[in-house]
Amino acid sequence: MALPSNLSLLLLILFSFHSQLLQVHAFTTRSDQDFSFMKSVRNAIDMASEEKYDYIVIGGGTAGCPLAATLSEKHSVLVLERGGTPGTYPNVLNVAGFFANLMQSVVFRPNLAVWQSVVKEALLEAGVGPDNGLSVILNTDIFFEMTEPSAVGVIYTDSNGKSHKALIRKRGEIILSAGAIGSPQLLLLSGVGSDTYLSSQNISVIHSQPNVGKFMADNPRNNINLVIPFPFEASSAQVVGITSDYYIEAFSLSLSFFPIPLPFSLYPSSVSTELSLASIVEKIAGPLSHGSLQLASPNDVKVAPHVGFNYFADPVDLSRCVSGVRKIGDLLNTNSMDPFKYKAFNGERGFMFLGPALPSNNSDDSAMEDYCRSTVTTFWHYHGGCLVGKVVDGDFRVMGVNSLRVVDGSTFILSPGTNPQATLMMLGRYMGLKMLRERRQPIS
Ligand SMILES: Cc1cc2nc3c(=O)[nH]c(=O)nc-3n(C[C@H](O)[C@H](O)[C@H](O)COP(=O)(O)OP(=O)(O)OC[C@H]3O[C@@H](n4cnc5c(N)ncnc54)[C@H](O)[C@@H]3O)c2cc1C
């Protein structure tokens, strides 16, 4: 059903954000960058003041790029991205390049570095195996009201401050892929959110949706860092121990530093010294704790919103952390880890920690909980804000608003597996194919 035009127009005007654009795919915030190597990339200042597309994807990130590349096989697509150009992997913006990148950089069998092999053996000795139990993250309930408002376009601002309008054609859609922080922020700024909250911010309410910006979650990360008594190669995570409560990964790095030039230093001050470090990192599965996102500015999308994740507010998360930290203690007691100990003057052997050591008594729950709370940090796997079943339906459509979807990590109830990026790329590709199929169906 067609909407009153003032409602559509209001939504259009409120879809305002600072960005550059490109015609079919991505772009940048700086006008001095050379786009000639990417035919589809335009700086926003070179765009017409008004154009129409079949699809507008906001956010050329992990989910947005494969989604846009897939849709652009058959339709005109505009991606609005406020970050830089994907110079490292320009081919990710076409289907062949996307799969090549996937196989070369994301899904491949690695040659294990030494520290990774050690942790793999230690994990197996400590009884942690590759339990790849799948978790279902998508809710299949569908709620879709044809009588609600429709998204019709976006207004974006180029780096000179000039506004441009991009509209969608008949049967077109706008897809938010701006990530767990960007997508709820854009919905709120556009008037889709709790009516009392939006009114308190003087934002006109397009559609009252109390769950936008809610259920923001981040997997707590806790790690130990060991100083290794011999030179050691750097490695990123290649091995993971998977349990239903936590994941354990490992990293190693070599730090160069210049010794402090004390008068009696053993080292000449001009000689750098290498410090080998190895980390064992625990990521809490889930998590169950969550917080919310609030706007820091009611009208400027460039002002990052305030987000709270309430780490360990749910006691289950804390007990998972304690179990994981205990398991790290078990790893350190394995034979595989023995060569990484130092020998003290009294002949005793032990690990040298950089930063907090594990509590000496790992059966002391309260000491373990304090350790979890005091050493918690982020794995950057934050998600939520536009959850499936609460803000979007099982087809990722914003419930109550026509022609508007959210396809990114903000829809996730749980962060999938050890690292979410591959799942998000596949979500973009999957949704692109699904939308192409839907588009071929006759209008009922
Ligand atoms: C430092 C760091 C390291 C990480 N390492 C790993 C890893 O090793 N492995 C792994 O699996 N995961 C990793 N992650 C997590 C992973 O990157 C994210 O989970 C994933 O990228 C989220 O995908 P997304 O599509 O939801 O959002 P994103 O990939 O974040 O894409 C959102 C895009 O929208 C753009 N955007 C936001 N707002 C706007 C706006 N208003 N206008 C226009 N564009 C906008 C952003 O610039 C961004 O390009 C890491 C994350 C971080 C931050």
What 355-361 contacts at long range (C-beta under 8 Å, 24+ apart), as own/partner pairs, is 355/224, 355/225, 356/224, 357/224, 358/224, 358/325, 358/328, 358/329, 358/332
Q: Whose CA is nearest to atom 4 of ligand 1?
A: 380
Q: How does residue 305 score in pLDDT terms, banded at 50, 70 and 90? A: very high
Mean pLDDT in residue range 226-235 = 89
Is 299 contained in some domain? no
CA 128 to chain centre: 26
Total number of domains constituting the chain: 2
State whether 322 and 277 are in the same domain.
yes
State whether 395 and 354 are in the same domain.
no
User: CA-CA distance, 320 to 44, in Å (whole number)?
Assistant: 47
Pick from 339, 355, 378: which residue ends a domain? 378
State whether 21 and 51 are in the same domain.
yes
CATH number of 258's domain: 3.30.410.40
CA of 31 to the centre of ligand 1 (A): 23
Is 303 contained in some domain? no
Residue 68 backbone phi and psi in degrees, to 5: -65, -40
Show the ligand 1 pocket: residues with CB < 6 angstroms. 17, 19, 58-64, 80-83, 177-180, 182, 186, 301, 380-381, 408-409, 419-421, 424
What does the pLDDT read at residue 157?
A: 83
- Domain hosting 422: range is 5-108+136-217+381-440
CA of 196 to the centre of ligand 1 (A): 30
What does the pLDDT read at residue 440?
A: 87
State whether 143 and 33 are in the same domain.
yes
CA of 382 to the centre of ligand 1 (A): 9
Q: Whose CA is nearest to atom 7 of ligand 1?
A: 419
CA of 178 to the centre of ligand 1 (A): 8
Tell me which amino acid residue 200 is.
S
User: CA-CA distance, 442 to 176, in Å (whole number)?
Assistant: 25
What does the pLDDT read at residue 257?
A: 67
What does the pLDDT read at residue 223?
A: 93
State whether 342 and 422 are in the same domain.
no
Q: Which of 80-89, 108-117, 118-127 has the lowest mean pLDDT?
A: 80-89
Other Cβ atoms less than 10 A from the Cβ of 37: the count is 9
State whether 226 and 327 are in the same domain.
yes
Q: Whose CA is nearest to atom 8 of ligand 1?
A: 419
Is 260 contained in some domain? yes
State whether 92 and 159 are in the same domain.
yes
Instruction: State the DSSP string of 40-65.
Output: T---GGGS-SEEEEEEEEE--STTHH
Nearest atom in ligand 1 to the alpha carbon of residue 182 is: 38
pLDDT in tens, 16-69: 333 333 333 333 344 444 545 556 777 788 888 888 999 999 998 999 989 998
Say whether 321 sits in a helix, a strand or coil: helix
Q: Which of 41-55, 223-237, 250-264, 286-300 has the lowest mean pLDDT?
A: 250-264
Is 101 contained in some domain? yes
Which residues line the annotated binding site for FAD?
Answer: 380-381, 409, 420-421
Pick from 340, 357, 378: which residue ends a domain? 378
The pTM score is: 0.82
User: CA-CA distance, 362 to 372, in Å (whole number)?
Assistant: 12
At residue 179's C-alpha, the angle toward residues 401 and 58, to 5°, is 60
State whether 94 and 183 are in the same domain.
yes
What does the pLDDT read at residue 31?
A: 44
State whether 122 and 144 are in the same domain.
no
Is 283 contained in some domain? yes
Tell me which amino acid residue 208 is.
S
Is 298 contained in some domain? no
What does the pLDDT read at residue 8?
A: 35
Single out the residue of 387, 430, 2, 406 nearest to residue 175, CA to CA: 406
State whether 58 and 180 are in the same domain.
yes
State whether 203 and 262 are in the same domain.
no
Is 296 contained in some domain? no
**Substitution candidate for ligand 1 out of 28, 380, 405, 427 with most atoms within 8 A of CB:** 380
Q: How far is CA 236 from CA 107, 221, 273, 280, in A?
A: 15, 16, 22, 11
State whether 191 and 328 are in the same domain.
no
Is 205 contained in some domain? yes
Token representation of residue 276: 């080998």
Torsion of CA 79, 293, 297, 25, to 10 degrees: -10
Query: Locate tokens 């903000």: which residue?
Result: 410
CA of 61 to the centre of ligand 1 (A): 6
CA of 62 to the centre of ligand 1 (A): 6
CATH number of 213's domain: 3.50.50.60
Pick from 361, 378, 395: which residue ends a domain? 378
User: CA-CA distance, 22 to 42, in Å (whole number)?
Assistant: 4
Q: How does residue 231 score in pLDDT terms, banded at 50, 70 and 90? A: confident
